[in-house]
């Protein structure tokens, strides 16, 4: 087979030749790449020379380059442009890759060389980055079973193989349930309250499915506005219950048993490695370091947020009773009533904002902000191949030279999972520049108007672009310490700090312009946006904290006692919720962040990073949001450094002090 995945990409910037890559190329390419990498490892272990950083750690760092490239392609496509054949391929590839990782991590000869370097290498002869790489490599071997006996190593292999497949299956089930639902409306009166653009999008969705009327789905650009504006309460209930039933129905996609098996295996794995829980294992390599620290962090924020949330709930209930005739607020009412209350209190209708945020203009403004802060220029290159016609590729330049490649993929479609994320197709190191991608699910353009973003979609775009900056501006020697390869509770700092530029008049003036008139967003509207940032912050904080508590409970020392996912979820978070919990719904069975993504025992990190970003942005506010000195310091000490030093060390180098937790409360209006 002429397999492009086994060759060097002879394309602009060695970008992926998507048009030449076929699904059947992946498995042969991965098998061959594994064979090559294992040969490289054998060459390392066969050396007669005494182990050194150069002949062992650096050589290992360069191993498996082909595997990294090809698996990034496979798993990224599986998230953004999947099919049944591609899902089967990822299921086939997953055990191969897990076995390969274990063949490396459980290789005694290799570990003995690494251990020798760790114990004997002169640290004074190494750079800070080299010391970090050495310690990371040694720890990763120990944390993946290098010190176990043969029987325990085999158990670890079996656990890892099963976990990797369960994780893929979990995601496939959520996607299948998401796509199986459609709300088909044929009576125009059932559309009452919905904005014209949302109705138009639903009509086009119906046309694409060769049906009359309007179709709403569980994709966010369809689901969120429906729940926010639709006056038909019964239809809101129908959508809400469908959304909450993903992975929790009496069908082959039910994820309940998968969750129980995942948490059981994670606990077993941790115990094999002499940790009390999966959380203890994970948090050892986090800024938080322990379950106790995370729980204390969640408790302190909860204590501060709950009184404010209770007041906000009472206000919402009273407003609903007096103005909307709703005496009992249910789960499917909160977004709808909150929007009505916001309109009444702040005189702010989110739909009035959308004309000021056409996607193309916001993207231009975002690129302009990145240029002002970090001196980069982004220019679309239509000759670079992409995996879907909607995907665009941009060259990123800095100091008149190529710095990175950025792919953007903005609209929902069949075969693309919900949500928004940044990912990498090629990492950065001293010999190569990175290729990164941001994937979102925004409101599509219609025949009559461009894609107009809600303000929440604007902040999502800035958030994901912040992650992209972390990847694109990386400047490290080694790939495994580059970009977003940092402690998990530090990785959200670059993304969350970017959201702050969504609220500043000086930044908004660059991109918030009416798509028809070109009018800059009025200052009165900006003031309303800023006030809206404080709207129901108590309730929003409790919601995020409830996810953090739930995640921790699935991975703490008592996780193996869980017998019923639904009952456990209810026991964990009911005290932080204000509406009744529908028995046919379960959030956990679609909690992809922790059962499919990398946030297991780490969901708290969103709030943790919010503390960092609120504190960090206060420095920008003191010096000016486009202050070159501040931006250069953030670039030099955070964005470019990846995981080359401990994150607190990097943060203090930028900020001059440790983060102040009250900065988050001040910004949220809860202090």
Which CATH number fits the domain that encloses residue 461? 1.10.1370.40
Residue 620 CA from chain centroid, whole number: 25
464 is catalytic: yes
Tell me the pLDDT of the chain averaged across its residues: 96
pLDDT digits (tens, 9 = 90+) for 405-448: 999 999 999 899 889 999 999 999 999 999 999 999 998 898 88
Predicted TM-score (pTM) of this structure: 0.88
CB 394 within 8 A of CB 405: yes
Residue 1 pLDDT grade (very low, low, confident, very high; cuts 50, 70, 90): low
Domain that holds residue 34: 4-147
Helix (H, G, I), strand (E, B) or coil at 349: coil
What average pLDDT score do residues 381-394 get? Answer: 97
pLDDT digits (tens, 9 = 90+) for 205-244: 999 999 999 999 999 999 999 999 999 999 999 999 999 9
Helix (H, G, I), strand (E, B) or coil at 451: coil
Residues 19, 124, single domain; the answer is: yes
Residues 415, 481, single domain; the answer is: yes
| Token digits of residue 9 | 């990409």
Domain of residue 33, CATH code: 1.20.1050.40
Q: Is 13 left (phi over 0), alpha (psi -120 to 50) or beta?
A: left
Residues 397, 528, single domain; the answer is: yes
Separation of alpha carbons 216 and 201, rounded Å: 9
Whether 603 has a pLDDT exceeding 70, the answer reads yes
Residue 612 lies in a domain: no
Please tell me the predicted confidence (pLDDT) of residue 351: 87
Which stretches does DSSP call E strand in 342-480? 376-380, 392-398, 401-409, 421-426, 435-439
Residues 80, 192, single domain; the answer is: no
Please list the alpha-helical segments (H only) found in 126-149: 128-143
CB 626 within 8 A of CB 115: no
pLDDT digits (tens, 9 = 90+) for 448-480: 899 999 999 999 999 999 999 999 999 999 999
Residue 597 pLDDT grade (very low, low, confident, very high; cuts 50, 70, 90): confident
Give 375's DSSP letter. Answer: -
Please tell me the predicted confidence (pLDDT) of residue 448: 87
Separation of alpha carbons 572 and 547, rounded Å: 9
Separation of alpha carbons 419 and 174, rounded Å: 12
The domain tally of the chain equals: 3
Residues 213, 140, single domain; the answer is: no
Residue 425 lies in a domain: yes
Separation of alpha carbons 189 and 592, rounded Å: 36
Last residue of a domain, one of 215, 244, 273: 244
Separation of alpha carbons 545 and 297, rounded Å: 10
Separation of alpha carbons 411 and 405, rounded Å: 20
Residues 109, 202, single domain; the answer is: no
Residue 410 lies in a domain: yes
Residue 670 pLDDT grade (very low, low, confident, very high; cuts 50, 70, 90): confident
Give 520's DSSP letter. Answer: B
Q: Which residue's entry shows tokens 């490892």?
A: 41
Separation of alpha carbons 555 and 567, rounded Å: 16
Please tell me the predicted confidence (pLDDT) of residue 598: 87
The string of DSSP codes covering 185-248 is E--GGGGTT--HHHHHHHHHHHHHTT-SSEEE-SSHHHHHHHHHH---HHHHHHHHHHHHTTT-
Separation of alpha carbons 433 and 250, rounded Å: 48
Please tell me the predicted confidence (pLDDT) of residue 446: 87
Residue 351: Cβ within 10 Å count? 19
The residues with which 378 forms a beta bridge, in sequence order, are 396
Separation of alpha carbons 158 and 138, rounded Å: 22
What average pLDDT score do residues 343-358 get? Answer: 92
Name the phi and psi angles at 397, rounded to 5.
-120, 145
Residues 206, 125, single domain; the answer is: no
Residue 279 lies in a domain: no
Give the active site residue among 121, 137, 205, 464. 464
Separation of alpha carbons 531 and 345, rounded Å: 10
Residue 469: Cβ within 10 Å count? 29
Q: Is 670 left (phi over 0), alpha (psi -120 to 50) or beta?
A: alpha
CB 599 within 8 A of CB 262: no
**Order of all β-strands in the sheet with 392-398:** 376-380, 392-398, 401-409, 435-439, 421-426
CB 487 within 8 A of CB 643: yes
Separation of alpha carbons 156 and 164, rounded Å: 12
Residues 21, 64, single domain; the answer is: yes
Separation of alpha carbons 465 and 420, rounded Å: 11
Residue 106 lies in a domain: yes
Residue 523: Cβ within 10 Å count? 11
Whether 186 has a pLDDT exceeding 90, the answer reads yes
Last residue of a domain, one of 121, 147, 173: 147
Helix (H, G, I), strand (E, B) or coil at 645: coil
Residue 46 pLDDT grade (very low, low, confident, very high; cuts 50, 70, 90): very high
Going by C-beta distance under 8 Å and a sequence separation of 6 or more, which residues neighbour residue 163? 98, 262, 265, 266, 269
Residues 421, 491, single domain; the answer is: yes
pLDDT digits (tens, 9 = 90+) for 88-146: 999 999 999 999 999 999 999 999 999 999 999 999 999 999 999 999 999 999 999 99
C-alpha distances (whole Å) from 122 to each of 56, 95, 112, 279, 474 are 14, 38, 17, 33, 27
Whether 279 has a pLDDT exceeding 90, the answer reads yes
Residues 117, 228, single domain; the answer is: no
Residue 89 lies in a domain: yes
Residues 206, 77, single domain; the answer is: no
Please list the alpha-helical segments (H only) found in 273-380: 278-283, 291-324, 334-346, 350-353, 359-374
Last residue of a domain, one of 533, 557, 578: 533
Residue 382 lies in a domain: yes
Separation of alpha carbons 234 and 178, rounded Å: 20
Of 389, 365, 391, 390, give the one whose Cα is nearest residue 378: 365
Residues 196, 64, single domain; the answer is: no
Helix (H, G, I), strand (E, B) or coil at 11: coil
């Amino acid at each position: 087979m002429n397999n492009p995945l086994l060759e060097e990409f002879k394309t602009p910037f060695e970008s992926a030749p998507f048009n030449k890559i076929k699904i059947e190329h992946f498995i042969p390419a991965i098998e061959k790449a594994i064979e090559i990498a294992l040969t490289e490892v054998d060459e390392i272990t066969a050396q007669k020379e005494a182990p050194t950083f150069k002949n062992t750690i650096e050589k290992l760092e360069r191993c498996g380059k082909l595997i990294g490239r090809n698996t990034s392609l496979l798993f990224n496509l599986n998230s953004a442009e999947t099919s049944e054949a591609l899902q089967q391929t990822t299921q086939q590839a997953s055990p191969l890759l897990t076995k390969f990782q274990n063949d490396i991590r459980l290789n005694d000869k290799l570990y003995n060389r690494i251990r020798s370097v760790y114990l004997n290498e002169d640290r004074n002869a190494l750079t800070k980055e080299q010391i970090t790489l050495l310690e990371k490599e040694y720890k990763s071997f120990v944390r993946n079973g290098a010190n176990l006996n043969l029987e325990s190593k085999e158990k670890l292999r079996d656990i890892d193989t099963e976990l990797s497949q369960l994780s893929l299956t979990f995601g496939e089930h959520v996607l299948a349930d998401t796509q199986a639902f459609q709300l088909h409306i044929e009576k125009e009166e059932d559309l009452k309250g919905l904005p014209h653009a949302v109705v138009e999008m639903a009509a086009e969705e119906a046309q694409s499915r060769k049906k009359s009327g309007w179709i709403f789905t569980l994709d966010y650009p369809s689901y969120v506005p429906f729940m926010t504006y639709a006056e038909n309460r019964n239809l809101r209930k129908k959508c809400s219950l469908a959304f909450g039933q993903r992975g929790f129905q009496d069908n082959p996609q039910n994820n309940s048993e998968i969750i129980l098996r995942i948490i059981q295996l994670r606990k077993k794995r941790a115990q094999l490695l002499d940790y009390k829980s999966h959380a203890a294992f994970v948090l050892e390599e986090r800024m938080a370091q322990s379950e106790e620290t995370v729980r204390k962090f969640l408790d302190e924020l909860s204590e501060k947020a709950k009184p404010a949330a209770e007041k906000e709930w009472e206000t919402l209930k009273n407003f609903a009773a007096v103005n909307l005739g709703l005496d009992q607020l249910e789960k499917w009412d909160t977004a709808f009533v909150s929007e009505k209350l916001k309109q009444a209190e702040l005189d702010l209708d989110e739909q009035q904002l959308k004309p000021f945020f056409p996607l193309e203009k916001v993207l231009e403004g975002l690129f302009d902000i990145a240029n002002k802060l970090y001196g980069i220029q982004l220019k679309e290159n239509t000759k670079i191949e992409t995996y879907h016609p909607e995907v665009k590729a941009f060259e990123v330049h800095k100091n008149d030279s190529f710095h990175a490649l950025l792919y953007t993929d903005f609209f929902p479609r069949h075969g693309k999972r919900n949500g928004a994320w940044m990912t990498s197709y090629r990492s950065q190191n001293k010999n190569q520049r990175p290729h990164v991608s941001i994937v979102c699910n925004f409101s599509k353009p219609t025949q009559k108007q461009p894609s107009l973003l809600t303000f929440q979609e604007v902040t999502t775009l800035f958030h994901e672009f912040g992650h992209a900056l972390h990847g694109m501006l990386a400047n490290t020697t080694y790939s495994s310490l580059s970009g977003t390869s940092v402690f998990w509770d530090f990785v959200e700092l670059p993304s969350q700090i970017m959201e702050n530029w969504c609220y500043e008049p000086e930044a908004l003036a660059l991109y918030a312009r009416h798509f028809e008139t070109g009018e800059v967003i009025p200052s009165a509207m900006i003031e309303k946006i800023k006030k809206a940032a404080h709207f129901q912050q108590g309730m929003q904080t409790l919601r995020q904290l409830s996810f953090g508590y739930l995640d921790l409970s699935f991975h703490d020392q008592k996780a193996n006692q869980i017998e019923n996912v639904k009952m456990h979820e209810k026991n964990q978070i009911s005290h932080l919720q204000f509406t009744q919990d529908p028995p046919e719904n379960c959030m956990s069975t679609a909690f992809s962040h922790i059962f499919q993504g990398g946030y297991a025992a780490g969901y708290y990190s969103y709030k943790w990073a919010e503390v960092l970003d609120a504190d960090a942005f206060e420095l920008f506010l003191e010096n000016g949001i486009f202050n070159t000195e501040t931006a250069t310091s953030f670039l030099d000490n955070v964005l470019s450094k990846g995981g080359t030093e401990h994150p607190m060390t990097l943060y203090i180098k930028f900020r001059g002090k440790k983060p102040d937790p009250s900065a988050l409360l001040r910004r949220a209006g809860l202090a």
